[in-house]
Structure 1
């Protein structure tokens, strides 16, 4: 069974890829997938560059790199999350870890685990995706 305790509270760092110094949402996804023996492709986008993040994530989701899945969700599965006003765009990722839970990072609190069905998240999750060759 994969453990995540050592990730809880890891701080946010823009373009971070090291759990000792901090990660961004995609850096965390790379770490979690790595614990399953899956190496994700790299990309960098500044935290404040929502258009670039949306284009890259959305572009990857539409390509042969990722495939959208429906319930029951496999573990791990990448969550595409939409934030923004007035029109939300995909600019955040998390990783589904089973039992209706996902792990992600928040700028102010660091890495945390939350429920996909909570009122805060159920309306902003745009989809669940698996990496090519994962299953």
Structure 2
């Protein structure tokens, strides 16, 4: 029953992102959508075995040919800082979960939401405004070029 509930909530979230109409092999929404529900695994970097938060980010960005550092703390030191009000899809968002500095990260997907691999849910979509994340939000970084951004958000099914 828990798996069915997770599947149904993930499906609703995907459609609220518009991912249900996006090709799965070319856009941020499609690539994230293919990973929703993958279990959490500390140190994990694959859909087969599971992801931790930074492993999830690495996998999504690697699908666009973008290399990033391995850990969330090191990912938070690249690119340029972005104000929360200026976030756009593909920006990285960072949180202090353990009280010791940056210890969690996700990918902003638009509409106040971010995709991440949470230890209690696996790959899922959460709102930045959820009280748990709002209290723990630290910073955001834009780690991609304008060209990479355009490629990442494009919808291949309409780009022909």
TM-score by length of structure 2 reads 0.64
State how 1:1-135 maps to structure 2 within 5 Å.
1=22, 2-3=29-30, 4-35=32-63, 37-43=64-70, 54=73, 56-57=74-75, 61=77, 65-70=78-83, 71-84=85-98, 87-131=99-143, 133-135=144-146
Structure 2 unaligned regions, length at least 5? 1-21, 23-28, 147-160
Q: CA deviation at 1:41?
A: 2.4
CA distance in 1, matches of 2:54, 2:91: 13
Give the conservation status (yes or no) of the 8 Å contact 1:116–1:122. Answer: yes
Unmatched 5+ stretches in structure 1: 45-52
Runs of 4+ in structure 1 deviating by more than 3 angstroms, as ranges, are none
In structure 2, the partner of 1:50 is none
SS at match of 1:15: coil
More helix by share: 2
Is the CA contact (8 Å cut-off) linking 1:32 and 1:95 kept in structure 2? no
Aligned residues: 117
Q: Name the one with the larger strand percent.
A: 1
CA offsets 1:16-47 (integer angstroms, 9 cap, x no match): 11112211111111123234x25132425xxx
SS of match in other structure, 2:57:
helix
Q: How big is the shift at 1:122?
A: 1.0
Secondary structure of 2:86's counterpart equals: coil
Report the TM-score, using the length of structure 1 for normalisation.
0.74
In our comparison, the structure showing a higher alpha carbon Rg is 2
CA distance in 2, matches of 1:93, 1:103: 9
Distance 2:52 2:102 in 1: 15
